Structure 1
């Protein structure tokens, strides 16, 4: 029973930590905006909870976000488009199997 409890706690802490990889630079509820969006899309089976996130053409794989947060704030997000598994594989190879989120921002043009 003790081992089972430890396994459950480990899995929960891992899932919480993995969602933190998609936190934004904002504070409060805004910080979890992208994580919540990913969770909703995963519940609808459009993507998994570990998709590739493409921000203005720059892809961020789940594995690449081990030590860093996405350089993004909710105020800057203009549009989020979810790409399903098959289209993601066609574009990004095996990494696209988890699904792809394409995020367009309203960054300043020089």
Structure 2
């Protein structure tokens, strides 16, 4: 029983930790909008819980987001599209195995 409780707590803490990497600049529940969306896509089996996030063509690997935060607000997001493992690998090599989330924004194109 103790092992089960410990395992559940460990899974929850890892899940919360990984969600922090996908936090937006917003406050309140909008701050978790992207992490919640990624969690829903993961639950549906579309991606893993650690996908590459591509914002207007710029990729951010899960590992990158440990030190670099996303400079993005919910209001800027136009579309969020999951890309499956096979297509992700074709585009990003082995890093695409985790799946890819393509985000297009309302930001002016550079």
Could you state the TM-score of these two structures normalised by the residue count of structure 2? 0.89
Helix, strand or coil at the partner of 2:32: helix
Q: 4+ residue runs of structure 1 moved beyond 6 angstroms?
A: none
Q: CA RMSD in A?
A: 1.7
Can you list the C-alpha shifts for 1:52-86, whole angstroms capped at 9, x where unaligned? 00001110000111123211000100111110010
In structure 1, stretches of 5+ residues that fail to align are none
Q: Partner of 1:107: helix, strand, or coil?
A: coil
CA, structure 1 residues 44+2, in 2 after alignment: closer, same or farther (shift >3 Å)? closer
Q: Which residue of 2 aligns with 1:48?
A: 48
**Structure 2, unpaired ranges of 5+:** none
How many residue pairs align between the two structures? 110
TM-score (normalised: structure 1):
0.89
Q: Cα–Cα, structure 1 residues 85 and 4, in superposed 2: closer, same or farther, change >3 Å? A: same
